[in-house]
Structure 1
């Protein structure tokens, strides 16, 4: 499910004037309606449990920050407009969530009537919630296509928007679940159930939850939109398969399978989480890597035609096309020229990426360069030269980076163990 990026239908690197797109106003109305509904729910939660509600909002808002940064950085070479990322997040947190709450309850009731109360008790959440929620979230990616088609140029774009819709849904739902746990505890306005919910639904489960499901469905929508070189039936089939994969992953996650665990203690809890969540996580990581490599080959290939070391050197061509090599180039600059060098390399890489995108859009002839984009690259090159570090290339792996990686891994394992131990005995 990968695709070579194709030229957009127009619109350049920025989002189109959304107000001129009729579908935008429909989406805006739905977002406002969702905001009103979520505000009503939040108001009731706050009036009953003000401390718990504020704690839940703060914890999950902080939790969303690293996810937002990672998702927005996935498509480094052709960054998505912030306003569309915000719209995708708002669709997930306001529209999809507000629609899914009553619809999931109605579908669970239907499962009980058509099947049995016992079936609904065991499998209602596994059948109703994924069906309603994945449909609502996938519509968020479709909405982005309808109002900003020029921004969907690769499968990776679909992944980014799908993940952002999923992230918005995940944060809104987790806040509701956290305060709901306070109500179920029946001990008043205390934060302990909120923290427990944060550890389980955020820290332990967040990496393979709604953000992941949304990314998988978004990959299918991206393939459907981008791969116009493929037969329509094949594109529809891939999109349906991706959406079914997101649904099936969600069903597995919510299912009562392994509900009794695989033993007692933290390791048993971790085993359940891994068995249910790891397969879709590995799949989406593979899709991201494949889509990123295809996109890098496309855009970096335009830069390779320049043959101008002032704009990009051979070493920078190799670094720009790899996320790990870009990070290594920044670390190398930091070691050589401090934080200023690291920031200068990052700005140069962004300028080179923008130049590549502009070349792909305006270059009827190979090697044609947008003057303003090229001037920006040259300006950042001058900054690097003044710092005594003229080239943004990856240096040798340093012992400091190795030591930092080891320490960070040990701290992450320690925090994970504490979280598992706290929940394992619950």
Structure 2
């Protein structure tokens, strides 16, 4: 891995050869990872075969529901890193680790640790606090190992803490989907009424819709940030980087612990209002924490790549206003909306393509150390100019985000409104599931 100083620290550059190459196949870590994935696949296949044999309809419905549930999360997580998208093969590997390896290890591991708690302290303590202690300890450990596995087989692809967030979140998403399928099928078995889908639907709303917004995907993202920081920030001393990684892991453990704790379960507020209170108190803090971490990591990475474009001093490639817009997801969206307002949908599409080409060019510039990278820079420079020409023809030559007064206040109102809509939807779902 090579590194350059950018934005106040060292940033590891992406591999020009992509995520996987011939050298990867010679790595022992690659074959260990492959073996673990195959073993996890065999374990999950065995579970699904047994479930389909007994509850064919319920099992298929559970798999389909949670597979569809994963799609918007996948799209959102995969798009977190606008400047340098992660290879799909590695995203799929991270997801597979969570769904296959982490699940296969966590189910028996959690049971064993739960029994240890019961013997060391008391069965009552294990019943009350077992989920809060055992779940985070086993599950967060095996999930963060998946991010380390990605680093071992494709280290050059983890070139910013934000990459660690993306891979950690994808591991968490895979675990969340597979675990929810297991819980849904078990709910059918516990009900004891045969091959019915109603327990699956209830599980989908409880564990997917109500709990999914602040569950394993968030926990994995936070722990993944620590791994990314450990690997990337080589300008910091190793003890400091290890400390940040440990703190991030402890944060994911604490968020998971808070979510699983019996706190508020027997609180003074009952019914739908009580459930909503639990979601707010236990779910909102982790959501705000990871949102802050992601924003800071995104800003740091954007500063690095935008600086490479700014060093060209070429307004045909990127104007000052476009550079300001490119470094922020909100301003990028504002630039597209502004183009749509002034010149229509074609201009909006052209702005998005220009922004994407500028991001590709910035990444290519960071890799420009040989003939292959020079060709890549030439290619994306040509694309930027082509999209610029399209904007000029549409009468909107610059992809800028207009400076508007009250932007912060407007954003606050937007977030408040979105939170209100989410809360109303949660209230409706809780009421539909039997709360009053």
Work out the number of aligned pairs and report it.
419
TM-score by length of 1: 0.91
Deviates more, 1:112-121 or 1:377-386: 377-386
Structure 1 residue 5: Cα displacement: 6.4
Tell me which of 9, 14, 27 is aligned to 2:18: 14
Matched, 1:425 2:435: yes
Matched, 1:140 2:150: no
Match of 1:80 in 2: 86
Question: CA–CA distance in 2 between the matches of 1:42 and 1:145?
Answer: 30
Structure 1 residue 9: Cα displacement: 5.9
TM-score by length of 2: 0.89
Structure 1 residue runs without a partner (length 5+)? none
Matched, 1:127 2:137: no
Q: Deviations over 1:285-342 (max 9, x none)?
A: 1111111111111111111122222211122111100001111222233334444333
Structure 1 residue 71: Cα displacement: 0.9
1:5 and 1:153 in contact (8 A); partners too: no
Question: CA–CA distance in 2 between the matches of 1:242 and 1:407?
Answer: 30
Tell me which of 257, 260, 269 is aligned to 1:263: 269
Deviates more, 1:238-247 or 1:181-190: 181-190
Tell me which of 409, 415, 418 is aligned to 2:425: 415
Match of 2:385 in 1: 378
Question: CA–CA distance in 2 between the matches of 1:373 and 1:5?
Answer: 26
Question: CA–CA distance in 2 between the matches of 1:335 and 1:19?
Answer: 50
Match of 2:407 in 1: none
Structure 2 residue runs without a partner (length 5+)? 1-6, 405-409
Match of 1:184 in 2: 190
Alignment of 1:198-217 (within 5 A): 198-217=204-223
Match of 1:194 in 2: 200
Question: CA–CA distance in 2 between the matches of 1:109 and 1:24?
Answer: 34
Q: Describe the SS at the equivalent of 1:6.
A: strand
1:319 and 1:325 in contact (8 A); partners too: yes
Q: Deviations over 1:27-46 (max 9, x none)?
A: 11111110111011111122
1:7 and 1:360 in contact (8 A); partners too: no
Match of 2:173 in 1: 167
Tell me which of 87, 99, 104 is aligned to 1:98: 104
Question: CA–CA distance in 1 between the matches of 2:400 and 2:17?
Answer: 26
Question: CA–CA distance in 2 between the matches of 1:5 and 1:424?
Answer: 53
Match of 2:347 in 1: 341
Question: CA–CA distance in 1 between the matches of 2:94 and 2:38?
Answer: 14
